[in-house]
């Protein structure tokens, strides 16, 4: 019997600027915006070797796979999280590019060649082990968020061993540890080069920090990038964050077709003309194949696929007459 893809309480989420899907479980581990931003921050090598430390459910490395053809090795100490990551690799059919290792990052040198890694990504535990006031009840989140099994010093030391000369380390962390991060990077001859502070809103304090450092790089030339603001005052994503999540060419459509037998078919697409041609070439949905030709009866435009998919689901729940009334009302 085939093993089910998802385990209890798991779901599949997608970063809509890519086709990459990630297995999540809110009780165990779910990626958040820090993972997304890290996967889009560094300068990626076109080929070579990338390592994702503290990889959790593998989101950072999987998102990064769309930016490079380099091999990506993910390493995660928690067996449950590593298992989720491995199944996400298989879900996306990326076994030839991405691999998941369930081990302590202390043992990284047994899995990758010393001084041969082009780029290391790391979304590490943010909080010192002594910070007890906000420790999460879940052991999975506890280890992911607090420096219990690893810490900043160890991450930088291991990175120094694994990176080739001029190789890069990219991390996301807390702004209140900025000076400590800079000092620790320099301790291991990792020269900070690109720094960006992330703000939840324009009038709020920064709550994230992105840093890219180069092994054995010159101490000169450190750049502070423009601030990255996540939300507008009304709570919507800013244009820059919206592009990261949904892509710059992010228009999507909910569409309604009238089939040859008079029935209606509803779907979503990012290219109306291409999708209509696909349906009429008998390569679209199973439903329309026996009801050709079809013609476009109605469509709505959205900023991203997620919104179009939601509109499609709502429209499909309507009766036929409700659908026709809706179309008549919205095409006046």
pLDDT over 50 (residue 1): no
Asked if 101 and 56 count as a contact pair (C-beta separation under 8 A), the reply is no
Assign domain 252-330 one CATH number from 3.30.200.20, 3.40.50.1370, 1.20.1070.10, 3.40.1440.10.
3.40.1440.10
Q: Please give the pLDDT value at position 243.
A: 82
pLDDT over 80 (residue 135): no
Residue extent(s) of CATH 3.40.50.150 domains in the chain: 11-246
Lowest-pLDDT range of 39-43, 135-139, 145-149, 156-160:
135-139
Average confidence (pLDDT) over 306-314:
86
Average confidence (pLDDT) over 178-188:
97
Asked if 80 and 32 count as a contact pair (C-beta separation under 8 A), the reply is no
If one compares 147 and 275, the residue with the highest pLDDT of the two is: 275
Residue extent(s) of CATH 3.40.1440.10 domains in the chain: 252-330
Other C-beta atoms closer than 10 Å to the C-beta of 105 total: 24
pLDDT over 90 (residue 3): no
pLDDT in tens, 28-79: 888 899 999 999 999 999 999 999 999 999 999 999 999 999 999 999 999 9
Q: Please give the pLDDT value at position 2.
A: 45
Percent of the chain having pLDDT more than 90?
Answer: 72
Q: Please give the pLDDT value at position 133.
A: 46
Q: Please give the pLDDT value at position 132.
A: 57
pLDDT in tens, 73-104: 999 999 999 999 999 999 999 999 999 999 99
Q: Please give the pLDDT value at position 150.
A: 87
Calculate the alpha carbon distances from 281 to 85, 266, 277, 278, 284 in Å: 38, 17, 6, 5, 7
How far is Cα 74 from Cα 84, in angstroms, rounded to an integer? 12
Q: Please give the pLDDT value at position 168.
A: 98
Average confidence (pLDDT) over 314-326:
94
Helix (H) or strand (E) holding 264: strand 264-269
CATH superfamily of 11-246: Vaccinia Virus protein VP39 (3.40.50.150)
pLDDT in tens, 266-302: 999 988 999 999 999 999 899 999 999 999 999 998 8
How far is Cα 195 from Cα 227, in angstroms, rounded to an integer? 9
pLDDT in tens, 208-254: 999 999 999 998 999 999 999 999 998 888 888 888 887 766 678 99
Asked if 299 and 290 count as a contact pair (C-beta separation under 8 A), the reply is no
């Amino acid at each position: 019997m085939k093993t089910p893809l998802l385990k209890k309480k798991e779901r599949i989420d997608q970063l809509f600027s890519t086709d990459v899907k990630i297995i999540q479980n809110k009780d165990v581990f779910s990626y958040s915006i820090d993972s997304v931003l890290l996967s889009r921050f560094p300068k990626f090598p076109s080929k070579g070797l990338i390592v994702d430390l503290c990889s959790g459910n593998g989101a950072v490395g999987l998102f990064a796979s769309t930016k490079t053809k380099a091999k990506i090795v993910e390493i995660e100490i928690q067996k449950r999280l590593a298992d989720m990551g491995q199944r996400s690799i298989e879900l996306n059919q990326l076994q030839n590019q991405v691999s998941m290792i369930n081990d302590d990052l202390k043992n990284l040198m047994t899995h990758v060649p010393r001084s041969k890694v082009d780029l290391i990504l790391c979304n590490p535990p943010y909080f010192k082990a002594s910070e007890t006031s906000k420790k999460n009840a879940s052991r999975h989140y506890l280890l992911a968020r607090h420096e219990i099994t690893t810490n900043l010093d160890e991450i930088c030391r291991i990175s120094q061993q694994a990176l080739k000369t001029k190789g890069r380390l990219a991390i996301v962390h807390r702004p209140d540890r900025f000076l400590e991060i800079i000092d620790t990077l320099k301790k291991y001859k990792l020269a900070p080069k690109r720094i960006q502070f992330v703000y939840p809103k324009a009038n709020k304090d920064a709550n994230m920090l992105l840093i890219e450092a180069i092994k054995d790089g010159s101490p000169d030339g450190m750049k502070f990038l423009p601030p990255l603001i996540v939300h507008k005052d009304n709570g919507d994503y800013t244009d820059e964050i919206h592009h990261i999540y949904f892509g710059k060419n992010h228009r999507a459509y909910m569409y309604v077709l009238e089939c040859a037998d008079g029935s209606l078919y509803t779907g979503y697409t990012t290219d109306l003309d291409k999708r209509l041609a696909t349906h009429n070439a008998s390569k679209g949905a199973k439903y329309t194949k026996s009801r050709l030709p079809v013609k476009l009866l109605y469509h709505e435009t959205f900023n991203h696929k997620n919104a179009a998919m939601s509109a499609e689901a709502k429209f499909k729940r309507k009766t036929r007459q409700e659908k026709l009334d809706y179309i008549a009302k919205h095409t006046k």
